[in-house]
Amino acid sequence: MIKELTVRTSGKEDFVDVTEKVKRILENSNTDEGTVTLFVPHTTAAVTINENADPDVKSDMIRTLNRMVPEDWHYDHMEGNSPAHVKASLVGMSEIVPIQRGKMLLGTWQGIYFCEFDGPRTRKLYIKISD
């Protein structure tokens, strides 16, 4: 079973917390044990798992990635969005979360973020529940 989640991002860079939406999809699947696979079918967006309690973590990650991947570098890609492509690959297009007793084994402070690097746009996130 593969579900497609629509994610609307705001701003050039944006981390959207999709944890509750993924939880709802898992609950509706009635899966007791297995894995949730998350996959982003884009080249300038990504998915990651990190702290969702303090919003400063999200802005620190965006600011640090912007520092690591400067806008004024010698990029050849004519579309002009090479920093977004580089950041997307650094963060990665997939995550896997184990399921136990019908729940994702996320730590207390962990949340799932859809990461936008060339927004704002309407994006897709694929979610596959396997048992």
What number of chain residues touch Zn ion (CB under 5 A)? 2
Cβ closer to Zn ion: 37 or 82? 82
CA distance 125 to 77: 25
Cβ-based nearer residue to Zn ion, 22 or 45: 45
Q: Is 79 in the site for Zn ion (CB under 5 A)?
A: yes
Contact window for Zn ion (CB under 5 A) among 13-21, 59-67, 76-84, 121-129: 76-84
Piece of 19-27, 29-37, 64-72, 81-89 that binds Zn ion (CB under 5 A): 81-89
| Distance, CA of 3 to CA of 27 (rounded, Å) | 13
The answer to whether 110 contacts Zn ion (rule: CB under 5 A) is no
**Is 54 or 79 the residue whose CB approaches Zn ion more closely?**
79
121 binds Zn ion (CB under 5 A): no
Q: Are strands 2-8 and 122-130 parallel, antiparallel or unpaired?
A: antiparallel
Residue ranges in contact with Zn ion by CB under 5 A: 79, 81
